[in-house]
Amino acid sequence: MYFWEILGWMLWATVFIGYLFALFAIIGDLFRDRGLSGWWKALWVIFLVFLPFLTALVYLVARGQGMAARSSTAAREAEDAAQSYIRDVAGKTPAEEIAAAAALREAGTISTEEFEQLKAKALS
């Protein structure tokens, strides 16, 4: 009997945690959706508070397709922002650094020895 009580408790805990994941996904989607007015967002949140399971089910059925599209768009935008940040932080490629140093040498700004040092540093 004790084993079945623990198993039942674990089942309900899993269902509750799954519901919390769905709830957070729904709330995140509500505030990510720019096409939905603030009043509709407030109405969805009020229904989520007072009729949580039914509202979550209706939301997932009614707006699930758009929810997936908005999530995909947000993930793509986050990936693009991360890649842009990495490119900005990483700086120039070694070939670009050598080309810039060669342009400085040709302009007479740096000597041949300084060019060789910059080239060695870029290739290391």
Q: Are the CB atoms for 56 and 26 separated by under 8 Å?
A: yes
Q: What does the domain layout of the chain look like in residue ranges?
A: 2-91, 93-124
Q: Compute the chain's Rg from CA coordinates.
A: 28
Give the pLDDT score at 54: 93
Q: Which of 104, 106, 97, 85 is nearest to 124 (CA)?
A: 97
Round to whole Å and give the CA distance between 43 and 66.
Answer: 18
Q: What is the pLDDT of residues 35-71, one digit of tens each?
A: 889 899 999 999 999 998 899 999 989 888 888 888 8
Chain center to CA of 25: 13
Other beta carbons within 10 angstroms of residue 67's beta carbon come to 19
Q: What integer best gives the mean pLDDT of the chain? A: 88
Give the pLDDT score at 86: 83
Q: Are the CB atoms for 66 and 33 separated by under 8 Å?
A: yes
Give the pLDDT score at 46: 94
Give the pLDDT score at 13: 96
Q: What is the pLDDT of residues 64-103, one digit of tens each?
A: 888 888 889 889 999 999 988 887 777 777 888 888 888 8
Q: Between the CA of residue 113 and those of 28, 88, 105, what are the distances in Å?
A: 57, 29, 10
Q: What is the pTM of this model?
A: 0.60
Give the pLDDT score at 41: 92
Give the pLDDT score at 24: 92
